[in-house]
Chains A and B, each alone.
Chain A
Amino acid sequence: MKTEDQINPSPTAALEEAQAVLRARDFWAALVLMGLSAFFLWRTSFIPLWGENRAGVQGGDWYNSAALVPLGIFSAMFVLSLVLLRIAVREGGAKRALSAVGIGWNRAEALRFTTLGVILFFYIAGLVPRVDFILCSGLLITALIYGYHGGHAVRMLLGAVIVGLAGLYAMVLHLPRAQWAQHDDDWLVLVLWIGLTLWQMWSGRGTRLARVIPVIAVLAPTILVCAMAFGFRQNVPNRGGLIFKQIEYHYYVTLKPIWSGK
C-alpha cells in the first residue's frame, strides 16, 4: 500500500527523485560515452600520428598530424566519461540503473517518443527523397496534429502506422536513387493522406481543429515549396513529384509567359 508521501511527494522529494533518475541515466550515458570514445580512439589509430611513411612519402611530424587533435578530444571524452561514471555510481545511479523505475521509464512518454521517432524517420529517410514534397508534408502535418494534439495514444499509433507504412513502401520498393522518380508511392501517400484527413474530420466533427488541419496541411507545404523553388530559385526535394511537376510546368509554361509578356 502506498504511503501519503508516495502518492503526493513533497517538492523536495520530487526533486531528489528526479536527481536520482538523472544519475541512473548518467550511469548508462557514461558507459555509452566510454564505448564511443574507445571506438573513436581506435579509429584515430588509422590516421598517421608519428609521421609514417605512406606509399614512399614521408608524412609530417607528430605535432602536424591530423590525428593529434582528435586524439586529445577522444581521450578527454574518455576521462570525462569516467568522471561522470564515478559521480553516477557515488550518487546511487548504478543501483537504480537496472530497473525500469530507476531510470524513470514512463510508458506513455516512451510511446510518444517512439511513434514520433517512427514518423520523423520515415518522413525524412523514406518519403522526402522519393515522394512529392507537398504530399508527404501534408501527410506529416495531418498525422502529427491529429496524433499529438489531444495526447491520445491510439491516435499517435495510427499516425505512426500510416506514415510508417507509406515510408516503408517507398523505401522497400524504391530504395536506389535511380528509382526515386517513380510515382506509385506518390499515389499511395495521396490515398493515405485523404483517408487520414477524412477519418480525422469524421472523428473530430464539429471541432474547429478538424476543419483547420486540412487547410494547414495543404497550404503550408505548397506555399513553402513554391516560395523556395520560384521565389528563392533553390533546389527543392523531388522536383519530379506528382504535384510539384504540374505546378512547375504551369509556372513556366502557363503563368510566366503572361507576366513576361511573351
Chain B
Amino acid sequence: MDFILSQLAGFGSAFTALVVDPLTYVYLVTSVFLGITFGALPGLTATLAVTILTGFFGNKIPLDYSMIALLGAYVGAIYGGSYPSILLNIPGTAASAATAMDGHPLAKAGRGGEALGLTTTASFIGTLIGTVALLIFVWVLLLISKNIASPEKALLALFGILLSGTLMSEDLVIKGWIAGLIGLAMAMVGMDPLLSEPRYTFGWSYMLSGFQVVPVLMGAFAVPQIIEGLRHLEVGKLVALQGRILPNLAAVKRHMPTITRSGVIGTGVGALPGVGEDVAGWVSYGVGKTVSKDGKSFGKGSLEGLLSSETANNACIGGALIPLLVLGIPGSPPAAALMGAFKINNVIPGPTIDPAIILRVVAIMVLASFTMWILGLFTARIFIKILRIPQTVFLPVVMVLTAIGSFSVGGGINDLYLMLGVGFVAYFMNLMKYPIAPLVIGVILGGLFDETFRRALFLSDGSLGVFVSRPGAAVLLALNVALIAAQIPMIRHPFQRRRRKEA
C-alpha cells in the first residue's frame, strides 16, 4: 500500500510541476497538433512524426520539454491516422489500417461525426489505460530488472530483434530476421565498446563513432516514405462529415467493455519488444470480432469494430514505453525514435534510469492524451481540411525538414550522407517487403547486445553455460530458440499436423 501511495505522490508532484509551467502548454498543444496533422496526412506516419521532431527537439531544449514534444506528437499521430481511415478509406498510419474497415462504412452511412467522436474518446481512454499500465508495471519490472545481468540483457536484446522480425514481416519471416541482422551489422561499425578496436571504418574518421541513431532513423523512415509518396495519386473522395462530433456519454458508457478490453490488449501487445501499434490494432480487431455479439457486422460499419482497433492502437503507446523505460528495448518503431531522443540527451533507458523521468513520462502521457481529446473534439474540422493536401505538395517540405533536422543533431554533413544511404537501402527493402522496424531496433540494440554478450562470456571465462545456468537467462534462451524453431519447417509441420488431427 505504501508503495502505491508513494508512486501516486510522485506522479502527483510530477503532474503538478508540468501543469503550473506555462511552457508545457505551448509544447503540448503544438506537438499534439503536429502529431495529429502527421497522422492525418496519408504518407506520413507516427514514426516519422517522432523521428522528425527528434531532429528538431531531441537535444535542443531541456529534456522535459523535449519529452513533451515527442510524446505529444506520438499520441497525436496514432490518433490522427483515424481521420483518413474514416473519411477517405485510406489509413493515415499503418496503426489505423483496421480502423478503415468499419470507420469508412460508418461515414458513408452518414455517421462520420459519431464515428470520429467515439474514436477520439476511445483513443483518449485507450491512452490512459496504457499509461496506467505503464505506471504500475514499470515499477514491478524495474524491481525485477535489478536482477538482470549481462547474459539476460544480451538474450533480451536478441529476443526483441527476433520478435520484431517475426511479427513485423509481411512476407517471409526470415526477411524480418535479415532486416534485424542488417541493423545489428550497422551497429558494429565504429570502435567496439569493450576494447576500442575499430571495426569496418574503412579509414574514415567519421565512422569511428559508429552510425548515429537520428540520421539512421531519418533515413530508414523518412526517405523511403518520401520516395514512395512522390507519385501521382488521385486524392480519394472525402466523405462529407455528418452528425455532431461530441460523443454521447450514454454511447461511450455502452461501449466501455469493448474500450476496456481493447485497451488491455493494446497495452499487452505494445509491451512486446518491437511490435507496434498496427499489430495491436489488428489483434484487438480480431479478438473483438471473435468475442463480440456484434462480430458478424465487423467490416460493415460496426462501432465495436472501430473502437476495437482505435482504442488498442493508442493503448499500445503506454505498453510500448514499458520495455523502453525498463529494459532499454523499444516496444514499437516510434518508441525506437524516442529511444534515439533519449540517447542524444545522454539518458540511458533501462534498469538504471532515473525514476523521476518515468514519473514525468507518465504525467506527460496523461496531459498529452487530454490535449489530444480536446483538440480532436473541437478542432476536427481543421484536420479534415488538411486531408485535402496532396502528398506531392507536403512531402518535398518533409524532405527539407528531414535534411535540416538530421544535419543539426551533431554529425554535420556526414550525417546527411548516412541518412541518404540508409534511405535508399530502406526503400529497396520496402520494395522487397523487408520490414524496417527490426533494422532500426537492431541498430539501437546492437551495441547493447555486443557489449553484454561479450561481457557475459568474459565473466564466465568463455563458458557458454552462463546462458543456461541463470534461471532468467535460461528462460530467455528458451524463448529465443522457440522463436527460431517455430519457423523451421521440419519442426513446424509435425506440430501443425498434430493440431489438425486434434481439431
Chain A residues with CB under 8 Å of chain B are 22, 25-26, 29, 33, 40, 43, 47-48, 59-66, 68-70, 73-74, 76-77, 80-81, 83-84, 87, 112-113, 116-117, 120-121, 123-125, 128-129, 133, 137, 140-141, 144-145, 148-151, 209, 212, 216, 220-221, 224-225, 228, 232-237
Contacts and interface: CB of A to CB of B under 8 A. Distances in A.
Interface of B: 56, 60-61, 171-172, 174-175, 177-178, 181-182, 184-185, 188, 192, 194-195, 197, 199-200, 223, 226-227, 230-232, 390, 392-393, 395-397, 399-401, 403-404, 407-408, 412-413, 416-417, 419-420, 423-424, 431-433, 449-450, 453-454, 457-458, 461-462
A77 B390 CA distance: 40
A193 B227 CA distance: 22
A171 to B, nearest CB: 13
B192 A66 contact: yes
A70 B188 contact: yes
Nearest to B408: A234
Given A69-B453, A150-B232, A232 B61 contact: yes
Given A64-B195, A64-B458, A216-B396, 11 more contacts: A22-B433, A59-B195, A66-B199, A68-B453, A68-B454, A69-B454, A112-B230, A120-B227, A140-B400, A232-B56, A232-B60
A83 B172 CA distance: 11
Nearest to A43: B200
A144 B433 contact: no
Contacts of B454: 63-65, 68-69
Nearest to B401: A224
A117 B172 contact: no
A29 B432 contact: yes
Q: Is the interface of A mostly helix, strand, loop or mixed?
A: helix
B424 A144 contact: no
Closest 5 CB pairs of A and B: A151-B232, A66-B197, A66-B192, A63-B457, A144-B396
Given A73-B181, A80-B177, A137-B400, A63 B420 contact: no
A33 B174 CA distance: 13
Nearest to B460: A63
Contacts of B403: 123-124, 128, 137, 237
A221 B417 CA distance: 20
Contacts of A236: 404, 407-408
B178 A33 contact: yes
Nearest to B186: A73
A77 B412 CA distance: 31
Contacts of A151: 231-232
A90 to B, nearest CB: 11
Nearest to B191: A66
22 contacts: A26-B432, A60-B195, A64-B454, A66-B192, A68-B453, A69-B449, A69-B454, A70-B185, A70-B200, A80-B177, A120-B399, A120-B420, A123-B399, A124-B417, A125-B420, A128-B403, A145-B392, A149-B393, A224-B401, A235-B408, A236-B408, A237-B403
A126 B436 CA distance: 28
Contact of A47 (B197, B392, B423): B197
B404 A77 contact: no
B412 A235 contact: yes
Contacts of B197: 47-48, 66
Contacts of B419: 124
A80 B178 contact: yes
Contact of A237 (B177, B413, B458): B413
A55 to B, nearest CB: 13
Contacts of B393: 145, 149, 209, 212, 216
B396 A80 contact: no
